[in-house]
């Protein structure tokens, strides 16, 4: 069994301590091959909040890929936002804003969709789209091809359309043609799995809720996603699981499971 754990929108500075402990316990129980931290790691991009976040992920005991979210750029410190928007993020998580993971089972490509001049919304550029497409096209035959963004590429409700990633339709068309299987995101604190239609191949949008923050939405609990391959997962598929936790813990429990047919899961 090969396992990815997606943790999103932790918003350190607003975290629930019992849920943090429950997530550490889940990671130690599930032993993921890789943890994906898909943005809004902090609430206000303060150094202390980044320090808390770094200490948390170090306890998860797995290799990490992280990207910033809009909350990880200083909001009120205008000088830092304009001149050095990612300095505090980089001090905690390294200089690479678009890390890549490649192994026999996985090709994971991270895309930084934040922009210092945008308060909340995100965008993907033509250069980013082509860079990702080239890497996807070069994936090995056994690799599940995963793109990680912060802002959603697809939403379920009309009231969330203003949160959609700018440039997403063109990006999805290009990435599907290049072989992407899953696009993982966060930002809106609503977990769901959507099959995207009208593309060159099957593509799944996988959205995560807020992992540990009290900033839950529409009565949803804290949640994370686990993606599995191998063993009891059918050939040509991966399994996407949502794990939920109440505000006082004591543990994350399996809440939903989707078996997704993908071209890269053979």
Rg (CA), the chain: 17
Q: What are phi and psi of 223, to 5 degrees?
A: -155, 160
Domain spanning 2-265: which CATH class is it, in words?
A: alpha beta
DSSP code of residue 219: T
> What is the tens place of the pLDDT at every residue in 206-259?
999 999 999 999 889 999 999 999 888 998 899 999 999 999 999 999 999 999
The predicted structure's pLDDT at residue 265: 44
Query: Residue 117 — very low, low, confident or very high, per pLDDT cuts 50/70/90?
Result: confident
Q: Which helix (H) or strand (E) holds 258?
A: strand 253-261
How far apart are alpha carbons 232 and 148 in whole angstroms? 25
Q: What is the pLDDT of residue 72?
A: 97
Question: How wide is the angle at C-alpha 251 spanned by C-alphas 60 and 17, nearest 5°?
Answer: 65
Domains of the chain by residue range: 2-265
């Amino acid at each position: 069994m090969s396992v990815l754990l997606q943790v999103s929108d932790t918003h350190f500075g607003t975290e629930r301590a019992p849920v943090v402990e429950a997530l550490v316990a889940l990671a130690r129980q599930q032993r993921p091959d890789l943890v994906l931290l898909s943005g809004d790691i902090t609430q206000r991009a303060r150094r202390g909040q980044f320090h808390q976040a770094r200490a948390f992920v170090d306890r998860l005991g797995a290799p990490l890929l992280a990207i910033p979210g809009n909350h990880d750029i200083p909001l009120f410190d205008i000088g830092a936002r304009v001149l050095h928007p990612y300095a505090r993020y980089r001090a905690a998580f390294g200089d690479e804003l678009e890390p890549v993971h490649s192994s026999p089972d996985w090709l994971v490509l991270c895309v930084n969709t934040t922009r210092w001049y945008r308060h909340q919304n995100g965008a993907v550029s033509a250069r980013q789209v082509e860079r990702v497409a080239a890497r996807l096209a070069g994936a090995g035959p056994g690799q599940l091809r995963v793109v990680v963004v912060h802002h959603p590429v697809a939403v379920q409700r009309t009231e969330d359309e203003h949160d959609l990633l700018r440039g997403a339709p063109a990006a999805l068309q290009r990435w599907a043609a290049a072989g992407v299987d899953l696009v993982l995101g966060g930002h809106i604190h609503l977990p769901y799995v959507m099959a995207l239609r009208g593309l060159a191949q099957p593509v799944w949008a996988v959205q995560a809720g807020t992992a540990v923050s009290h900033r839950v939405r529409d009565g949803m609990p804290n949640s994370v996603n686990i993606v599995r391959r191998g063993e009891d997962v059918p050939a040509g598929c991966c399994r996407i699981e949502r794990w939920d936790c109440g505000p006082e813990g004591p543990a994350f429990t399996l809440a939903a499971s989707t078996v997704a047919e993908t071209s890269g899961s053979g």
